[in-house]
Structure 1
Amino acid sequence: MKPEQHPQETERLRELRRYGILDTDREQAFDEIVELAALLCEAPVSVVNFIDKDRQWFKAETGLGVRSTPLETSLCGHVILQDEFVEIPDTLADVRMADNPLCTSDPGFRFYAGAVLKGSHGLPLGTLCVLDHQPRVLSDLQRKVITALSHQVMRELDLRQALEREQMLRREIDHRVKNSLASIGSLFSMKARTAPDENVRIALEDASMRIRSLSSLHAELHDLEEGQSVDLESLFRRVCMDLEQLLPEGVSLSADVRGGRASPHLANGLLLIVNEFVSNSVKHGLTETGGRIEFVITTEEDQWSIVCKDNGSADTKDAALAASASGLGTRVINSLASSLGASLDWRASGHGMELRLASLAEA
């Protein structure tokens, strides 16, 4: 006998799909649940299954060897229309299953016991069940085991759903933060162009540069999963494009990234170092006729280094002043070097400034 549809079949299927569990790969967490159910209930077969529109699909199974069966032969399709726990001592004595080929074949399933898996809205999605080839009954302890394990299945699914909602919210917040940073950076840049006071203009351009750099980093971090590293080449391609819009006419910026990836902490530090160096070069090192700023980043396993250069007019006195960290930008770089555990070296000989930082193991 084919199972009847649930009275709220449309809503039930909608809730099932909301969990996003159908057609996913096997997972140890669910495999262990069915193995434990089979062991404690002394049953040859145990499954975690979900009742789809026209099939019964198994998230986990032991002793069965298939991932889905037609709905026409589903035992659990009948069970989800009943109570939270169903035990059928002899399936051939049940009118719903007496003609089911899964029960009448040799060896057929002559015993069934299962707990209904209910979604957060109380609608039945499937079951955790055990099956045997002989008629029998479970002990009270075994019934409690199946019920407890079924609750564990749904707790796992509900937790995943909660995490997915949290990730969606985070992505939405990240998107808004990214747009806000870009808008603020553009606003500062526009204000700088119309500022009547030179000091105000420089301050606004400096702020715009920092915000745009942070926006570039945020864009790279936006889609990273926990534990992933940052693609430095992609990050500094963004950084250069953003900073070039703010550089004075005739000043060029180039980046050479060797190695590829870094932790978010290191990527953030490198970004801020580049940002401060560019800002200082524009304000103090490059002439009004233009110039060039370039930096080389190298990463290899746990080692890294960065070399920033400009071709301005900085000399040994300027290098000494930078090394003393008397200005805001050089203080920031000094602090970053300390937090990253890096050596720091300022050099200049009248043809531009050079800054070298390297992880201490490489220095």
Structure 2
Amino acid sequence: MKPSLHPQEEERLTELRRYGILDTEREKDFDELVEIASEICETPVSVVNFIDEGRQWFKAEVGLGVRSTPIETSLCGHVILQGDFVEIPDTLRDERMADNPLCTSEPGFRFYAGAVLKGANGLPLGTLCVLDNKPRTLTDRQRKILMVLSKHVMRELNLRIALEDERVLRREVDHRVKNSLASIGAMLSMKARRTSHEALKLELDDASTRIRSLASLHAELHELEAGGHIDLKSLFERVQADLRYLIPESATLSIEVDAFEATPQLANALLLIVNEFVSNSVKHGAKDGIGAITVHINGGAGSWSIVCRDNGKATKLDAERAMSKSGLGTRVIHSLANSLSANAEWEATGDGMELRVAPQHN
């Protein structure tokens, strides 16, 4: 007997497609769940399946060897029309499955037990089920474990939905922040052109360039979230031009990067460390507005290091304060280092401040 359509079939299919799980590759997280289900329930077959239009598609399976079957022969297509858990001790004694070739063939599926997978709106999407070639029943413990495993399937899918929603929201927020910074920078620049007060004009121009620099830096950080690996040399060539607006005209900034690719997490952290060091140097370390800041990033993805230096007025006491995280900038840098399982070391060299950040070695 072919399964009937769900009373809310269109809504059900819309909810299923919202999860974006159909026709995806096999994944260890789901494969392990069906392996556990098959072992605990002592059945040769276990699957995580979703009832699509015209087919039954398997995200994970043990003992089946296929990724989809026609809806006409789907046992789970019947089950999703029932409650949360369905157990059929002998399929040939069930009128819905007695003529199903998957059950009548040799060796056919004579036993079925499945926990229904439901979407956030309560509509059934598929099942986590186990099958055997002989009639039987599950124990209470096996039924309970099968239900728990089904909840793990949906918890994983719902988590992915939540993470994607968060990424969409963050992209929208990032877009608005970038536009806001650009608008503020343009407004300050306009006010600078209109004022006749020379000192105020210089202050407004300075504020405008700094805000445009922040907007550009924000855009770089946003791009890093796209995934994949980042060419650090190319990234910091762009960033150096932006950071140049943060330092006095008479000062110099040099960023040298040995070419290697980094994960977005590492690239993001290094970018923020450099930004904080440059900001701190301008605020505390430059000699009367004249100075030099250098940054050297080298190594590989697993053995990288970054050295930042300025030729300001840093003393031994300044280095101790930086190590104790007394300021916001130094706290940010130490926090970023911790996120990378790295150490941040500050030293007053006599010719300025030096910051070294490198992964911890066990």
TM-score by length of 1: 0.75
Mapping of 1:131-210 within 5 angstroms?
131-210=131-210
**Change in CA separation of 1:236 and 1:197 when aligned onto 2, cut-off 3 Å:** farther
1:330-345 matched pairs, under 5 angstroms:
341-343=345-347
Aligned to 2:272: 268
Moved more, 145-154 or 44-53: 145-154
1:299 paired with 2:291, answer no
Per-residue deviation, 1:231: 4.9
Q: Indicate the residue corresponding to 2:78 in structure 1.
A: 78
Q: Deviations over 1:340-359 (max 9, x none)?
A: 53446697xxxxxxx88552
The match for 1:110 is 110
Specify the SS of the correspondent of 2:97: coil
| 47 and 242 in structure 1: CA distance in 2 versus 1, 3 angstrom threshold | same
Contact 2:243 2:275 in 1 (8 A): no
Q: Distance in 2 between matches of 1:145 and 1:277?
A: 59
Question: Could you say which residue in structure 2 is the equivalent of 1:323?
Answer: 313
> CA-to-partner distance for each residue in 1:270-320, whole Å, 9 max, x for gaps?
235556879999x9559xxxxxx9966443343223578xxxxxxxxxx7x
- The answer to whether the 8 A contact 2:224-2:268 is kept is no
Partners of 1:228 and 1:263 within 8 A in 2: no
* TM alignment of 1:8-157, pairs within 5 A: 8-157=8-157
Shift of 1:111: 0.8
- Matched residue of 1:6: which SS? coil
Query: In the aligned structure 2, how far is the partner of 1:28 from the partner of 1:235?
Result: 34
SS at match of 1:51: strand
- Cα offset, 1:49, TM superposition: 0.6
1:148, 1:75 → 2: CA distance?
Answer: 21
Aligned AA (2:298) = T
Task: Flag the structure with larger Rg.
Answer: 1
Residue in 2 that maps onto 1:311: none
CA 1:234–1:358 in 2, change beyond 3 Å: closer, same or farther? Answer: same
Contact preservation (8 Å) 2:213, 2:245: no
Q: SS of the counterpart of 2:122?
A: coil
- Asked if residue 359 in structure 1 is aligned to residue 359 in structure 2, the reply is no
Give the secondary-structure state (helix, strand or coil) at the position aligned to 1:116. strand
C-alpha offsets along residues 94-134 of structure 1, whole Å, 9 cap, x if unaligned? 22222222112211101111121111111110011110100
- Residue 169 of structure 1 and its aligned partner are, at CA, apart by 1.3
Contact 1:178 1:215 in 2 (8 A): yes
Amino acid at match of 1:169: L
Q: What is the distance in 1 between the residues matched to 2:246 and 2:272?
A: 20
| Bigger shift: residues 27-36 or 45-54 | 27-36
Amino acid aligned to 2:313: A
User: Aligned-pair distance for 1:67?
Assistant: 1.7
Which amino acid is the alignment partner of residue 306 of structure 2? W
- Gap regions ≥5 residues in structure 2: 316-321, 334-343
Matches of 2:274 and 2:248, distance apart in 1: 23
CA contact (8 A) 1:115 1:147 kept: yes
Paired residues of 1:305 and 1:358 also in contact (CA < 8 A): yes
Kindly tell me: are residues 133 and 324 of structure 1, through their superposed partners in 2, closer, same or farther at Cα, counting changes over 3 Å? Answer: closer
* Cα displacement (A) at 1:360: 7.5
Report SS of the residue matched to 2:128. strand
Change (3 A) 1:14 1:34: same
**Equivalent pair of 2:3/2:78 in contact (CA under 8 Å):** yes
- What is the root-mean-square deviation in Å for CA atoms of aligned residues? 3.9
Indicate if the aligned counterparts of 1:303 and 1:359 stay in contact, CA closer than 8 A.
Answer: yes
Check 1:284–1:146 CA distance in 2 against 1; reply closer, same or farther (3 A cut). closer
CA pair 44-206 structure 1, distance change in 2 beyond 3 A: same
- Call closer, same or farther: CA 1:176–1:127 in 2, change over 3 Å: same
Task: State the SS of the aligned residue for 1:2.
Answer: coil
Deviations 1:144-168 (A, max 9, x none): 2222222222222222222221222
Q: Matched residues in 2 for 1:36 and 1:229: separation?
A: 35
Whole-angstrom CA distance in 1 between matches of 2:296 and 2:64:
55
8 Å CA contact 2:314, 2:353 repeated in 1: no
Which residue in 2 is equivalent to 1:222?
222
SS in 2 for 1:222: helix
Structure 1 residues 284 and 99: alpha-carbon distance in aligned structure 2, compared to 1, 3 A threshold = same
How many residue pairs match? The answer is 329
Unmatched segments (≥5 aa) in structure 1? 287-292, 309-318, 326-331, 348-354
Write out per-residue CA displacement over residues 51-101 of structure 1, whole angstroms, 9 at most, x where no aligned residue.
111211111211212221121211111111122222222212222222222
